[in-house]
C-alpha cells in the first residue's frame, strides 16, 4: 500500500476482449479465445451492432444465449433481453449491463458462446469478455 491507496499491479488488472458474432436464423457458435495468460473469467457484456452496420439491430427477445466455459454451462439458453440486450436494439439500462460470472481459468480454456435466433433475419451481437491474468 502506497499513501493509503491499494496498488494493483499491471498483471492483476482487469482486461477485456471484444467479439462480434453474426447470428443467422440457424444460430451460431463463437469460440471466445482469450490470452493464454488469462486466469480468471470475470464476466461479459452483450450489446447491439456497431455503427458499421446500423441497419442490423439485435432484438433481445429473439436471441437466446448459452455460454460454456470448459464444459461448465454458465448460461443455459437464456433470452438475451434478460442479459442486458433490449427489445429495440441497444440495452435496457441505457448502457450495456455487466453480467458477472467469475470462473477460474487455466490459460488453455474452451469458452463457447452459442446464440440462437428466432427473428427470421441475421443479427449482429457484440460480446465483451472481462478477465484477469491473475486470480
pTM confidence score: 0.81
Provide the pLDDT confidence category of residue 88 given band limits of 50, 70 and 90: low
Q: Bridge partners of 124?
A: 22
8 Å CB contact between 64 and 119: no
Nearest alpha carbon to residue 102 among 68, 130, 67, 83: 130
Closest CA to 109 of 84, 79, 87, 131: 131
Nearest alpha carbon to residue 69 among 131, 113, 29? 113
Q: How far apart (Å, rounded) are the C-alpha atoms in residues 53 and 124?
A: 9
Three-state secondary-structure class, residue 11: helix
pLDDT beyond 90 at 110? yes
Using the predicted structure, report yes or no on whether residue 104 has a pLDDT greater than 50. Answer: yes
pLDDT, position 55: 57
Does residue 7 register a pLDDT over 80? Answer: no
Tell me what the pLDDT averaged over the chain comes to.
Answer: 81
Q: Could you tell me if 15 and 134 are in contact, meaning their C-beta atoms sit under 8 angstroms apart? A: no
Amino acid at each position: 500500500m502506497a499513501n493509503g491507496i491499494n496498488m494493483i499491479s499491471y498483471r492483476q488488472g482487469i482486461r477485456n476482449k471484444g467479439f462480434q458474432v453474426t447470428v443467422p436464423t440457424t444460430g451460431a457458435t463463437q469460440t471466445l479465445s482469450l490470452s493464454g495468460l488469462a486466469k480468471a473469467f470475470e464476466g461479459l457484456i452483450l450489446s447491439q451492432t456497431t455503427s458499421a452496420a446500423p441497419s442490423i439491430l439485435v432484438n433481445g427477445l429473439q436471441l437466446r444465449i448459452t455460454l460454456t466455459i470448459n464444459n461448465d454451462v454458465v448460461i443455459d439458453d437464456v433470452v438475451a433481453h434478460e442479459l442486458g440486450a433490449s427489445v429495440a436494439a441497444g440495452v435496457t439500462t441505457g448502457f450495456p449491463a455487466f453480467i458477472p460470472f467469475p470462473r477460474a481459468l487455466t490459460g488453455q480454456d474452451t469458452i463457447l458462446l452459442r446464440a440462437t435466433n428466432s427473428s427470421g433475419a441475421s443479427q449482429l451481437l457484440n460480446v465483451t469478455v472481462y478477465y484477469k491474468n491473475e486470480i
